[in-house]
Structure 1
Amino acid sequence: MILWLSLRDRRLSGFKFVRQEAIEPFIVDFVCRDKRLIVEVDGGQHSENSKDRERDRKLIEAGYRVLRFWNNDVLQNKNGVLETILGALRE
């Protein structure tokens, strides 16, 4: 995945991300454990998905922040996505 290549090995300003992490009962795309930030990348099937909203709510209740991006955003504006992630990490 294109985004993973920019997040792995502490490539984003030294922040450590892991991929496909189990945060019961969910599997998240990417998470920075130290900052409790989850990054999800979604396709069109997730548009207006009530299950995603419920999942996000439960993850937030567990103390995580959740950022969601569309596949197209990652493909067409990867630098903008990375800037958004970095901004959230620095908050």
Structure 2
Amino acid sequence: MYIYNMYLSSILPQLNKPNPEWWARLTDIIMPTFIIGGRFSHILQNKLQEDAELIPNCEFVTIEDAGHFVHDTNFIGLLSCLKKFS
């Protein structure tokens, strides 16, 4: 529980008030990148697509029949996408 609490105290401030520079630096990512979104996620797929377009060598995929936690809601769909990316 101690590690979990440390994790939360570290990550929550970053999620609640993210550094705007993060988005501006997406173009700095140089390694192949794969962004996966679930069709029924609360994060809009067009926003993920916009982010993917800023990253050189990035592929974006929306997994149908999946929510925000793609690995939980459509594990087979996730594996299928990962096989194609690797």
- Give the TM-score normalised by structure 1: 0.40
Q: Which has the higher helix share?
A: 2
Instruction: Report the structure number with the largest CA radius of gyration.
Output: 2
